[in-house]
Chain A
């Protein structure tokens, strides 16, 4: 029996690849397996090759696999493009309709199942995804009842007749392939899972959940890949908590509306990807200058310009740190796991109010869209802290005086009142201003206010600003990365350890202000440092060099072809280094 396996389904976009993947993984989740998904898709809605890959395991996993065990193909293109990924003895389940062939040099077993024919017999070719998934499920020897339950949930809304037809499609697919194979394939028999259902979601959903738990009640946003799911989730949920989502006319409106709403007291967020972030830069400056809380999620994708909108990249870091003109305080944090997507959002809303700054939460496409098992999210660790928000009554103001909204305090953070409050009137402006918010060009005031704002974040460190996966004083190499790459590195490390290579591994989660003092000890003791990132210019490595040096020790490994790192690539890079 095996403890993990990789399954992939591919076809033309719009052909049911998504829904098959959804039902297949829901059923696996029911059995208690840990799952990690990877979507390969293009910007087209219909047509164009698309595939979804799921890694199935009896223990937690956070990376895609190098190879593939089972490929379900709706067309020959899927086989041609993906068969080389199959491991020795892998299996292809394909539609007999297109007379599938195994490419030369690939040693895979092919099961040609009359997928379309069976579906059509049952009434509609739409059901071919059910036939295909039934066939591959049966090959794994997994219990059909569990699968049927998932089918029921997917189609329940459409009535019992439809459910029945789909269940029948699954049964026929299973029956056909089992006969051809002579029963379930022994070599793919998975060890039973713990039977405990995990949370199973994409990063964007974890972000939406974190936002709601963190007190967000308003979102203003403009659709963009790969951020839209955050908005779509919140549109469904926020009205249940008295909140709402506004789809704005553009990202400038999204960000400025969020500023207006935060100013007036509602925890408000927006979310976008590179192109939208570019449009928000002036607004981010306004938030920084007026000390108005703001939370923005940037789901990084391939840039520049429209770039690779559906592909993985980590190339917005520079823009997020330096993008706004002038100098403002802000926080840029990059979650690296699905759980962190949740917790970081809660923290983002707290930091935005406690420090009265813009907070940018930067994910990457794989983290935002990869569907995966998620640890229990802890209700008790959710705390809401609104910082120096003034509640209760204020004493009357002296004549012609306003509330000192920008009072110079020791840590730079001033008391904040919300519009509507008696005796709290003050002015807010993006023009340099005095303690009451009145425009001021005084040189003395200017210097004081710049220091006030910028000093606020000097000691700002988020939870696990530098996350230590593995510490080894005598390690041959320290691996440093960010975002979704951590899981892949851990997987490579397991192999490296087997080979006797000692590695240490940290993830930088806080990009700005840079947590130098937390990273430094690791760099100092490292023999060699390998910085892995999904961009072409080494933005993380440059941040490290700029803040801490270590130019001679740092080796940058870059991947910017639109795909995430594979464990084998990390393994190889490490081996080459030592």
Chain B
């Protein structure tokens, strides 16, 4: 069985020292090993941004695509070969601005893909513009007078879009993050894991210390029932989305792969491509 070290490659990340994304990378590597994957059984599909580089830093199959489109690509991979474990990942701009349409629909579609968002409330790669996750009043290069748009709540959106797995974590809590990614991988359906992953270079407000002060861990509520949709929505609203842990999981709903008529157990990529003469003639006969 592979250890987390086997999920490392020798590519040196070009992230700034202290960037939250390092921990996310480590957590994915650990989670993959913990659930018993071999590197070739994992495909990490990422978008564009500082965070999007993550697929290149993990020894697994990986595709670094275009801005905002990690999810449709990842879903294509999963449709093609459901035997692979597919992780999609990227930044909050990638997933909640340019790619928001895909996020909502990937949630609805419920293909078995684990989506990890590195949420730093800012655009890192393009050097510090506002993101849909930026707080109102937040000053950035593109909002010199402070952001005047409402902050988007991905957790509420996910819940209302019918998510079957919603979790949130924090880069500093490697243990919780690793466990949640493992749970997400094991979940049969789409899982969203939003990770507070501080940008130390461009976001001087939402820092590690700020998060430590402002987030509540769901462990503090022993009675919390993550299978209760209403309780989950209440908790998200009560905490203004500043909570970590497994927020909601619906184990009863089948994944897209299991619902699609005629969809094979074995990866589509392994199906025979040729038609028999008989199959071909049968198709033609319908046009007579």
Binding site for B on A (CB under 8 A): 29, 197-201, 205, 209, 212-213, 215, 217-218, 220, 237-244, 246, 248-250, 252-254, 256-268, 282-283, 285-286, 290, 374, 377, 379, 382, 384, 400, 402, 418-431, 438-439
Contact = CB atoms under 8 A, between A and B. Distances in A.
B235 interface: no
A220 B262 contact: no
Nearest to B283: A209
B263 A282 contact: no
B269 interface: yes
A244 B256 CA distance: 11
Contacts of B287: 199-201, 205, 374
A382 B273 CA distance: 11
A261 B102 contact: no
Contact of A217 (B11, B62, B273, B283): B273
A255 to B, nearest CB: 8
Nearest to B276: A379
B105 A253 contact: yes
A262 to B, nearest CB: 8
Contacts of A212: 275, 283
Given A217-B268, A243-B268, A283-B66, A264 B77 contact: yes
A517 B109 CA distance: 49
B263 A256 contact: no
A241 B271 contact: yes
A108 B60 CA distance: 75
Given A209-B283, A242-B268, A252-B69, A260 B59 contact: no
21 contacts: A198-B288, A217-B273, A218-B79, A241-B275, A242-B263, A248-B105, A252-B102, A256-B72, A260-B80, A261-B80, A263-B76, A264-B81, A265-B269, A266-B268, A267-B273, A382-B280, A402-B9, A419-B40, A419-B84, A425-B40, A427-B64
A326 to B, nearest CB: 12
A257 to B, nearest CB: 4
A283 B69 contact: yes
A29 B288 contact: yes
B286 to A, nearest CB: 9
B283 A242 contact: no
B36 interface: no
A240 to B, nearest CB: 7
B110 to A, nearest CB: 12
Interface string B61-93: 111111001011111111111011000000000
B262 A249 contact: no
A379 B77 contact: no
Contacts of A426: 61
B264 A418 contact: no
Of listed B105, B270, B275, B281, residue having the most chain A CB within 10 A: B275
A251 to B, nearest CB: 10
B81 A419 contact: yes
B56 A439 contact: yes
Nearest to A423: B40
Q: Which 3 A-B pairs have the closest CB atoms?
A: A260-B76, A239-B262, A265-B269
B17 interface: no
A242 B264 contact: yes
A250 B101 contact: yes
A200 B104 CA distance: 41
A420 B61 contact: yes
Contact of B269 (A205, A259, A264): A264
Contact of B72 (A241, A257, A374, A431): A257
Contacts of A422: 38, 40
Contact of A261 (B79, B104, B261, B264): B79
Contact of A438 (B11, B72, B76, B102): B11
Contact of B41 (A200, A286, A400, A420): A420
A249 B261 CA distance: 20
Of listed A252, A257, A422, residue having the most chain B CB within 10 A: A257
B283 A237 contact: yes
B268 to A, nearest CB: 5
B43 interface: yes
Nearest to A239: B262
B24 to A, nearest CB: 18
A212 B39 CA distance: 33
A494 to B, nearest CB: 28
B79 A266 contact: yes
B62 A260 contact: no
B111 to A, nearest CB: 9
Contacts of A377: 284
B59 A425 contact: yes
A358 to B, nearest CB: 14
B84 to A, nearest CB: 6
B65 A256 contact: yes
A423 B59 CA distance: 11
Given A242-B264, A382-B280, 12 more contacts: A212-B275, A237-B283, A242-B263, A242-B268, A242-B271, A256-B73, A260-B78, A264-B267, A374-B287, A379-B280, A418-B81, A428-B62
Interface string B200-217: 000000000000000000
B260 interface: yes
Of listed A215, A242, A420, A421, residue having the most chain B CB within 10 A: A420
B25 interface: no
Given A239-B263, A244-B263, A265 B63 contact: no
A420 B281 contact: no
B268 A218 contact: yes
Interface in B142-173: none
Given A213-B275, A438-B11, A419 B61 contact: yes
B10 interface: yes
B45 interface: yes
A275 B83 CA distance: 35
Contacts of A283: 66, 69
B278 to A, nearest CB: 10
B105 to A, nearest CB: 4
Contacts of A257: 72-73, 75-76, 79
